[in-house]
Structure 1
């Protein structure tokens, strides 16, 4: 797949992409069961310190869990980037990853609502976060014949963006680029009864000032706004990594009732927070989630 209006690649883009492809080729030479933990180790032990992720994880934990024992902080500093590395290589493992997860069952209290919406052809906003590996859930949706689309932000490196999109498309389609054209495609898809996956756990400068992990977190209300406008159900879904690090549980939580968009979005935050507290090492603590900025009223 190719994003519309791609910028021309620079020398830096070419060098970065060539280095990434080289590492990817080395990783893919390993059997899947060795490749995934190896990628986790590389990102945890080599990439994280160079990228400054360890300090960011510590800063976020100090803000949200100031009394956390140092031993647990040290564990998460290693375990969080490990999950990031595993998630990345799983996406780039394409058919091997899909084959491993596609037959997983949906579990949790929201399964009946999700399957009922699918049978009725009713639109659904599937809300989640950068937690576990949502691509596992995407693969299960696709294998079951559920029409699950996703909105993505094109990457600045057009060479990287091209193979990133190809990897994402092997798991599920359609994919909609951010921007006027992509938004129009996405809305038509949703109105036709499609399901749309949205990750809502990143800082939004003009978002609503809500709570997440006990702190003020500016959060987009877009999922609630779309649901109210187009009559879509809002259902949280998570791909939770199981002990051992290679397999997943696909958890579907209770439907979020329609109401005030801020209250709906807070309920989404609360759903994700519950999962994060239960699996602290599976959320992307490398995000700058709690930044100051103007908030919508």
Structure 2
């Protein structure tokens, strides 16, 4: 009973605030989102600490990358929260039917890479991460190019889950939930459909492969490698980032599967290569990745096996 009351209270709060936010004009909405994110930075102490610790431990890797601009962990964490606030405001606009302008204003780059993968007739797996406004990436592609199915985790609050599902299904898109996604995804690829997967969250050892991510061991989902082997579906890295007042959606060349004879090594090389794509995104757009997630849990004392040196193109 108390749980239901809490769930409905959270839903009511979201609906009231999101409705007000959804009517804000573009520049005002962006300012409100940034300030809302900054408020979260100061209020959500546990998440702020997770972000600060993640950034501090990733800095040796980041600072060794060409073009890295020196920033303090606190600056990066604060701007990360601000970008998340901006994305939240944008999602509120989409939910209340005011998101088409955001979608139409986004620039699309590298669409020829998607076209090349699609022509193989085995569907397309978009491999992405919690970067920028990842919901807007799927919505923009679905509205302007082709309908897409996204793989998502069901929220604990079922009423808020319905809200998120409505956002993700806007403009004809669909949702597969992780608990039953694999069979549904294989069926979608047989029908030559497009499925988007977020691969940057921590998984358990039983469903993951140990890789190196931002200089540290991390468990990563092996689902993309399994799909590439089982269905022969092209894996196309896709990301979204901000450039001033606009959003840019980038679609990169298909990642060619490993040719290693050992299937375990091939899977590890594929997963590592895909995560290298996410690393490059983070180096280029460090405040647009989801630093507040406990990405490196359950890896204490582990070391990453040495692979054959293959990397993403």
TM-score (structure 1 length as normaliser): 0.86
Q: Tell me the residue number matched to 1:227.
A: 228
Q: Deviations over 1:29-62 (max 9, x none)?
A: 3223312331231122245533522211110112
Cα displacement (A) at 1:121: 3.8
Give the CA RMSD over aligned residues: 2.7
User: Matched residues in 1 for 2:71 and 2:116: separation?
Assistant: 45
Aligned length: 286
- The offset of 1:228, in angstroms, is 1.4
Cα contact 2:124–2:234 (8 A) shared by 1: yes
CA drift at 1:117: 2.9
Q: 1:61 and 2:71 equivalent?
A: no
- Range with greater deviation from structure 2 (42-51 or 56-65): 42-51
Report what 1:97 is aligned to.
Answer: 99
Q: 1:13 aligns with which of 2, 7, 17?
A: 7
Q: 1:131 to 1:178 in 2, by over 3 A?
A: same
CA distance in 2 between counterparts of 1:124 and 1:136 reads 19
In the TM superposition, residue 25 of structure 1 has moved relative to its aligned partner by 2.3
Deviation of the 1:80 alpha carbon:
0.2
The 10-residue stretch of structure 1 (128-137 or 218-227) with the greater mean CA deviation from structure 2: 128-137
Q: 1:48 to 1:225 in 2, by over 3 A?
A: farther
TM-score of the two chains, using structure 2 as the length reference: 0.82
Distance 1:114 1:48 in 2: 40
**1:166 corresponding residue in structure 2:** 166
Question: Which residue of the partner structure matches residue 211 of structure 1?
Answer: 212
**Structure 1 residues 124 and 290, CA gap change in structure 2 (3 angstroms):** same
Mapping 1:75-224, distance limit 5 Å: 75-94=75-94, 95-102=97-104, 104-108=106-110, 111-180=111-180, 182-206=181-205, 207-224=208-225
Q: Is the 8 A contact 1:135 1:171 kept in 2?
A: no
Q: Which residue of 2 aligns with 1:4?
A: none
Is the contact between residue 141 and residue 147 of structure 1 (CA under 8 Å) also seen in structure 2?
Answer: yes
2:269 to 251, 263, 266: 263
Structure 2, unpaired ranges of 5+: 64-68, 259-265, 306-313
Q: 5+ unaligned residues in a row in structure 1: which ranges?
A: 1-6
Secondary structure of residue in 1 paired with 2:154 = coil
Tell me if structure 2 keeps the 8 A contact 1:233–1:256. Answer: yes
DSSP-derived class of the 1:286 partner: coil
